[in-house]
Copies of this chain bind each other. A is one copy, B any other.
Amino acid sequence: MTNGKGVKVVGASRRRAGRPRTAVLDRQRIGEAALELVDETGDFTLPELARRLGVQTGSLYHHVEGRAGVIELLREQISDQMDPTPLQQHRWDVAIAEFFRSYRAVFAAHPRVVPMLTTTTVRSPRVIAAYEKMAAQLADSGIPISRTMEILTALESFAIGSALDLAAPEVMWEIPDGVDAPHLAAALAAQETPADRAERAFEVGLTTLLDAVRAEAASAL
């Protein structure tokens, strides 16, 4: 069973009005479908999402607070894929590096979602737990508590910015006609693929930032 766009429609058999004996929707299914939709098309609308799920648009409102609620579900989908376990297993500096690598890796798997998740507060218990662990590790390492949020913010900002790089168009810098920029052109030509540039920029930045934290911790003890 497919709709006009050849997309499989779940449960498209005619359903009459009234409450179904067993619920056809739940937040998990809506979240998964929304993530799929954004991965494929770069955006979503409630009607399109409902069509994929084989329900009416209004039905979504029984499970989610409108469009903003779906974005919250996208955030949950992404957060749930982050892996906080490395934080338990390594030295604090390696652990923090590993967490932010997984953070970026999840976004790399879903680049088109990134721009939708840049502005809201972090509430996900999973992610909060990861930050809790990092805060504890920084304290143990000798970093003064007044500096903890500065450091975590700098790392978070860098990770988010790097994730956005993944969502950016192929060419991040385009030299317009008539503009002379020989050094920039040469530098652009000297890079491998853009994906490679993004990856290595992230690695070098992350390592650099953590080196500095490590140095500060060492001098504090």
Contacts of A191 in B (CB 8 A): 146, 149-150
Interface residue tally for chain A (C-beta within 8 Å): 65
Q: Is the CB of A201 within 8 A of B153?
A: yes
Contacts of A201 in B (CB 8 A): 149-151, 153-154, 157
Interface positions, chain A 144-173, Cβ under 8 Å from B, are: 145-146, 148-154, 156-162, 164-165, 167-169, 171-173
Q: Is the CB of A121 within 8 A of B204?
A: no
Verify if A200 is at the interface (C-beta below 8 Å from B). Answer: yes
A174 to B121 Cα, complex, angstroms: 7
Verify if A175 is at the interface (C-beta below 8 Å from B). Answer: yes
A residues whose Cβ falls under 8 Å from a Cβ of B: 115, 118-123, 125, 128-129, 131-132, 135-136, 138-139, 145-146, 148-154, 156-162, 164-165, 167-169, 171-176, 179-184, 186-188, 190-191, 197-198, 200-202, 204-205, 208-209, 211-212
